[in-house]
Amino acid sequence: QERFTDHDPMQHIDSPKKQQKLPDTLSLSEVERLIETPDTKEVLGIRDRAILEVMYATGLRVSELIGLQLKDLHLSMGLLQTTGKGDKERIVPLGDLAIQWIETYLEEARPLLTRKHPEESHLFVNNHGKQLSRQGIWKNLKALVRKAGITKNVTPHTLRHSFATHLLENGADLRTVQELLGHADISTTQIYTHITKKRMTEVYKQHFPRA
């Protein structure tokens, strides 16, 4: 500003970063317990099981989950399409169990829920056959977490973080997880860096002959 120099001495200095704390994540056994909690003899239980399977298998944001439409499903290819932040579209792979429960929901539960609203295009609907709300997802999840006997503070975002954490712990790289989560910038995904460092150390010890 004072025109003493044309060179900015702060150009290569990083500004201080606020420490980022990872939210609670669920262990694999807790995820499995939660997913198996809905009573799948009931219509809403089948829907809730499908919702939990999709949330954990894709790491979708809750807004992306409730925005899913029937046309976004490409089950024969094991994919779904979603629109994330900034209207950015991405393709997300689906696991076999998630596909199986979506198909069960589409065949056995959704037609009963939407019988008064057959024109409804959203994938997941409430007991009136209309699009599920964010509040509906939160309320159902809280009830299922209690029923599963999990004492952690679990939100829809907890399943998203668990999805990312479990992928990285099993060898996925940060860039792939960035794509799957729909983060525009890798810096957002870097809250998980400590997991990749831990994994890198484990791989080194396992594979380097003189480790």
Q: Is residue 133 part of a domain?
A: yes
Q: Is residue 178 part of a domain?
A: yes
Q: Chain-wide mean pLDDT for the chain?
A: 89
- Which tens digit of pLDDT belongs to each residue from 86-134? 788 899 999 999 999 999 999 999 999 999 999 999 999 999 999 999 9
Terminal-residue alpha carbon distance, the chain: 53
110 vs 68: CA distance, rounded Å: 14
Q: Tokens 């399409």, residue?
A: 81
Beta strands in the chain (DSSP E): 73-74, 79-83, 89-93
Q: Is residue 42 part of a domain?
A: yes
- Mean pLDDT, range 186-197, rounded to an integer: 74
Count structural domains, the chain. Answer: 1
Residue 189 identity (one-letter amino acid) = T
Strands 89-93 and 73-74: unpaired
Q: Is residue 3 part of a domain?
A: no
154 vs 33: CA distance, rounded Å: 13
Q: Which residues of 91-118 are buried (b: 16+ CB within 10 A; e: fewer)?
A: ebebeeebbebbebbbeebbeebbeeee
Q: Is residue 4 part of a domain?
A: no
Higher pLDDT, 171 or 158: 158
pLDDT at 196 over 80: no
In this structure, what CATH number is given to the domain that contains residue 49?
1.10.443.10
Q: How confident is the model at residue 185 (pLDDT cuts 50, 70, 90)?
A: confident
- Which tens digit of pLDDT belongs to each residue from 56-90? 999 999 999 999 999 999 999 999 999 888 788 89
pLDDT at 40 over 90: yes
Instruction: Measure the CA dihedral 195/141/148/37, to 10°.
Output: -100
pLDDT at 23 over 70: no
Q: Is residue 93 part of a domain?
A: yes
Q: Is residue 18 part of a domain?
A: no
Q: Tokens 């990083």, residue?
A: 14
Question: The tokens of 194 are what?
Answer: 């400590």
Tell me the three state secondary structure of residue 190: helix
Provide the annotated active-site residues: 61, 85, 157, 160, 183, 192
Tell me the three state secondary structure of residue 106: helix
187 vs 60: CA distance, rounded Å: 19
Q: How many helices (H) and strands (E) does the chain have?
A: 10, 3
**Distance from the Cα of residue 174 to its chain's centroid:** 15
| pTM given for the model | 0.81
Q: Is residue 9 part of a domain?
A: no
Domain span holding position 42? 28-207
